[in-house]
Amino acid sequence: MTLLPLRVLLVEDQEDDAELILVALRQAGYAPQCRRVQTQPEMVEALRSGSWDVILSDCNLPSFDAANALQIVKAFGLDLPFVVVSGAIGEETAVAFMKAGAHDYVMKGNLPRLAPAIERELRDAAERAARRLAEQALADSEERYRTIVDAAHDTILLVDADWCISFANRRAPDMLGYACDQLIGLPFSTLIDLADRDEWGLRLRQIHQGGAFELDLRLRRSDGRDIWATSSCTRLPAANGAFGGAIVMLKDVTERRLAAEALRHQALHDALTGLPNRTLLQDRLQQAVFSARRENRRIAVLLIDLDRFKDVNDAFGHHYGDLLLKEVGDRLQHALRESDTVARLGGDEFAVILSSCLEVEDAKLAAVKILKALDEPFIIEQQNLRVAGSIGVVVHPDHGEDVNTLLRRADVAMYAAKREGDGYSMHGTDQEEASASRLKLSAQLRDGIRLGELELYYQPKVGLRTRELKGVEALVRWNHPEQGLVVPDAFIPLAEQTGLIKPLSRWVVETALHQWREWHRRGLELTVAFNLSMRNLHDPHLPDMLEELLQGFHLPPGALQAEITETVLMTNATRTLDVVTRLSNLGVQLSIDDFGTGYSSLAYLKRLPVRELKIDKSFVHDMAANENDMVIVRSTIDLGHSLDMKVTAEGVETPEAWDRLDALGCDLAQGYYMARPMPVAAFESWVGRGIYVPNPRPTAVA
């Protein structure tokens, strides 16, 4: 039989007793390695230097006893089986030892009981040690988890079965604004923004059924600030498998969310005015169309284009232009209801959706309201600026059922308003056709310019006093392959809108220039005038183009004249002055066309290198019947002369008009009375006849 080694620390003064104990142990199958101590210092030394399986202690020693020994063991923090082995002691003493920490008590007279007692105590001690180890491991791992939970960047909450918070990690107070102890006991849902609570409630049902979920929530911090968090919830089971609560993890995604929202906003709004852009407008319009269909309502779309915005930009610079656009945006919003959408589509184009419009007439009223709002002068950094708007109006479902049709027809209506100059225009079917034929016409014009379908007609300007031919105005005609001769009013505005005015003007100037040279070669000295339109003056390359054409021509001053209408000159002050000055430096004289229809400022006129004023034909026509027009004609002549300009009257149709203009001292006359605009050949034979003014005048006319 192999003996079990047993390290015994024996507290005993009696040699014999010690021997008896060892014998008893050996008999029970142990191989005791024993150290016997009798004093306190020996005991301390033995515990310090050796390790022991069991301590057997006599009750009383001369300088020591079991109680002392127990204290020492405790002081060492050891959990060793401690068995008191002694002679007869009283029951009470025995109980006191046990209370002090001894594990068992064996009488020396009953040593066979010692081994089983030791055996049991060793087992118990081993169990205790194992439990201690397990507890330590548990404590360690809890500590580890705790550290992880606290170090986590996310908020981690435990909620109980009633969704009240029972634990919050260290991050929670930072994120939610509440102290940890404020959070404990708080129903989790009170942290959630009202708008998100329904969705949250739905998800709770899911988790009660055993799932886990993730949901983006808007949370309200204790200071009232809103934050966004991605929440993920995992269910915690209770002992009986019921719902025992959950772990709620909250990741703060506020910044990401705000950045995404800012991007979204940016993508859908106009940076300058902050208004919805075209994309958002289309989206809103789609929504509005859907709900209008559902509810059987009308909605209206208004497209607004500013009429003189470009002039402001040109005259005052982009800074003013930008401020003006902002102000326009504000005015539009103020003029309409909050439920209406105001958007900026780009440039000087705005759009409005009227979300409810009972009658078609209501849309017109809104257009009038907008025009009125724009009519007030804009005061931008002390500058008094004026713009006007042209508005295209369409109503759903009357004028179109889908977004694209509505926007397209609003665009056509807007152009109609612009063309007709009456503020707003509502969609009509004829507009649709008109726009289609305009498209066709502009394609034909493009080809026509290239294929030489244009022709210049010349209309004479005759001196009133001298009755001599002084010059001609070149007026363009289009020999349309199907439509025959087309007058400029039918295609010049189109050419302006489509940019074709550039090649057209180039052709006109080039042709007029060659014609002048040809006449000059043949000894016919004439001033040849050509017309420039609004777009020509916006074209910074115009003077370059003219310079290129004029190279090689040694033009005497007064050979070439550019006619620019008064309104164009006045609305483009800064840019125009520049272009006009360059033209004048090239030797091209300036003539102000349709004078009297605009509002020229005398000061501005003086700054322009203008050589001629042309009185608009409407005044000349009405001069005979209307005293007021007569006054205008007379004062224009006087004004022109005081500024050292020649004055030409256009639209002279009758001998009376001729006489009256002659009497008023007007310099030149142009009109059907003398001659209509004519092709070159007709003009040349007219010149050949030598009668520039019908003469003698028919005196018989009543």
What does the binding site for ligand C2E look like in residue numbers (CB under 6 A)?
A: 459, 475-476, 487-489, 492, 508, 530-533, 563, 593-594, 617, 650-653, 670-672, 677
What does 30 bind: Ca ion, ligand C2E, none (CB cut-off 5 to 8 Å by kind)? none
Q: How far apart, in whole angstroms, are the C-alpha atoms of residue 345 and residue 281?
A: 8
Rank residues 348 and 593 by Cβ distance to ligand C2E and give the closer one. Answer: 593
Structure tokens at 325: 């656009």
**419: closest CA among 332, 305, 505?**
305
Rank residues 425 and 565 by Cβ distance to Ca ion and give the closer one. Answer: 565
**506: closest CA among 468, 472, 459, 549?**
549
What does 672 bind: Ca ion, ligand C2E, none (CB cut-off 5 to 8 Å by kind)? ligand C2E
Structure tokens at 426: 């509502």
Contacts of 118 (CB under 8 A, 6+ apart): 6, 25, 30, 54, 56, 81, 83
Considering only residues 256 to 315 of the shown chain, the ones binding Ca ion according to CB under 5 A are none
| Least CB distance to Ca ion at residue 651 (A) | 8
Residue 593 in the binding site for Ca ion (CB under 5 A): yes
Rank residues 459 and 636 by Cβ distance to ligand C2E and give the closer one. Answer: 459
What does 307 bind: Ca ion, ligand C2E, none (CB cut-off 5 to 8 Å by kind)? none
Q: How far apart, in whole angstroms, are the C-alpha atoms of residue 162 and residue 166?
A: 10
Q: Which stretch binds Ca ion (CB under 5 A): 139-147, 197-205, 464-472, 558-566?
A: 558-566
Rank residues 176 and 495 by Cβ distance to Ca ion and give the closer one. Answer: 495
Considering only residues 559 to 588 of the shown chain, the ones binding Ca ion according to CB under 5 A are 563
Considering only residues 502 to 541 of the shown chain, the ones binding Ca ion according to CB under 5 A are 531
What does 508 bind: ligand C2E, Ca ion, none (CB cut-off 5 to 8 Å by kind)? ligand C2E
Rank residues 252 and 539 by Cβ distance to ligand C2E and give the closer one. Answer: 539
What does 169 bind: Ca ion, ligand C2E, none (CB cut-off 5 to 8 Å by kind)? none
| Least CB distance to ligand C2E at residue 673 (A) | 6
With CB atoms as reference, the residue minimizing the distance to ligand C2E is 671
| Least CB distance to ligand C2E at residue 485 (A) | 11
Terminal-to-terminal C-alpha distance of the chain = 165
Helix (H) or strand (E) holding 494: helix 492-498
| Least CB distance to Ca ion at residue 319 (A) | 35
With CB atoms as reference, the residue minimizing the distance to Ca ion is 563
Q: How far apart, in whole angstroms, are the C-alpha atoms of residue 79 and residue 126?
A: 10
Contacts of 464 (CB under 8 A, 6+ apart): 658, 661, 662, 666, 667, 668, 669
Number of residues that bind Ca ion (CB under 5 A): 4
Residue 612 in the binding site for Ca ion (CB under 5 A): no
Q: How far apart, in whole angstroms, are the C-alpha atoms of residue 340 and residue 352?
A: 7
Dihedral angle of Cα 82, 83, 84, 88, to the nearest 10 degrees: 160
**505: closest CA among 459, 543, 471?**
543
What does 492 bind: Ca ion, ligand C2E, none (CB cut-off 5 to 8 Å by kind)? ligand C2E
Helix (H) or strand (E) holding 199: helix 194-208
> Angle at Cα 159 formed by Cα 155 and Cα 165, nearest 5°?
75
16, 302, 305, 474 from 392: Cα distances, Å: 126, 6, 9, 36
Amino acid, res. 205: R
Residues 590 and 583 sit within 8 Å (Cβ to Cβ): yes
Q: How far apart, in whole angstroms, are the C-alpha atoms of residue 640 and residue 646?
A: 6
Residues in the chain: 702
- DSSP-assigned letters across all residues of 80-137: --EEEEES---HHHHHHHHHHT--EEEEGGGGGGHHHHHHHHHHHHHHHHHHHHHHHH
Cα 217 → chain centroid: 24
Rank residues 163 and 595 by Cβ distance to Ca ion and give the closer one. Answer: 595
Q: What is the CA radius of gyration of the chain?
A: 54
What does 340 bind: Ca ion, ligand C2E, none (CB cut-off 5 to 8 Å by kind)? none
Rank residues 97 and 683 by Cβ distance to ligand C2E and give the closer one. Answer: 683
| Least CB distance to Ca ion at residue 556 (A) | 22
Rank residues 425 and 636 by Cβ distance to Ca ion and give the closer one. Answer: 636
Q: How far apart, in whole angstroms, are the C-alpha atoms of residue 96 and residue 657?
A: 147
| Least CB distance to ligand C2E at residue 332 (A) | 34
Residues 8 and 33 sit within 8 Å (Cβ to Cβ): yes
| Least CB distance to ligand C2E at residue 534 (A) | 9
Rank residues 397 and 493 by Cβ distance to ligand C2E and give the closer one. Answer: 493
Helices (H) and strands (E) in the chain, counts: 26, 28
Residues 344 and 277 sit within 8 Å (Cβ to Cβ): yes
Rank residues 32 and 677 by Cβ distance to ligand C2E and give the closer one. Answer: 677
Q: What is the 3-state secondary structure (H, E, C) of 404-464?
A: HHHHHHHHHHHHHHHHHCCCEEECCHHHHHHHHHHHHHHHHHHHHHHHCCEEEEEEEEEEC
What does 390 bind: ligand C2E, Ca ion, none (CB cut-off 5 to 8 Å by kind)? none
| Least CB distance to ligand C2E at residue 617 (A) | 5
What does 459 bind: ligand C2E, Ca ion, none (CB cut-off 5 to 8 Å by kind)? ligand C2E
Rank residues 177 and 677 by Cβ distance to ligand C2E and give the closer one. Answer: 677
Rank residues 531 and 572 by Cβ distance to ligand C2E and give the closer one. Answer: 531
| Least CB distance to ligand C2E at residue 652 (A) | 6
| Least CB distance to ligand C2E at residue 702 (A) | 21
Rank residues 393 and 645 by Cβ distance to ligand C2E and give the closer one. Answer: 645
Considering only residues 252, 311, 594, 629, which one is a binding residue for Ca ion as defined by CB under 5 A?
A: 594
| Least CB distance to ligand C2E at residue 680 (A) | 15
What does 677 bind: Ca ion, ligand C2E, none (CB cut-off 5 to 8 Å by kind)? ligand C2E
Amino acid, res. 547: E
What does 489 bind: ligand C2E, Ca ion, none (CB cut-off 5 to 8 Å by kind)? ligand C2E
Beta bridge mates, 299 = 396
| Least CB distance to ligand C2E at residue 614 (A) | 7
Rank residues 600 and 670 by Cβ distance to ligand C2E and give the closer one. Answer: 670
Question: 3-state class of 222 per DSSP?
Answer: coil
Residue 104 in the binding site for Ca ion (CB under 5 A): no
| Least CB distance to Ca ion at residue 543 (A) | 20
Beta bridge mates, 429 = none
What does 338 bind: Ca ion, ligand C2E, none (CB cut-off 5 to 8 Å by kind)? none
Q: Which stretch binds Ca ion (CB under 5 A): 217-225, 463-471, 503-511, 591-599?
A: 591-599
Rank residues 37 and 537 by Cβ distance to ligand C2E and give the closer one. Answer: 537
What does 476 bind: ligand C2E, Ca ion, none (CB cut-off 5 to 8 Å by kind)? ligand C2E
**Residues binding Ca ion (CB under 5 A):** 531, 563, 593-594
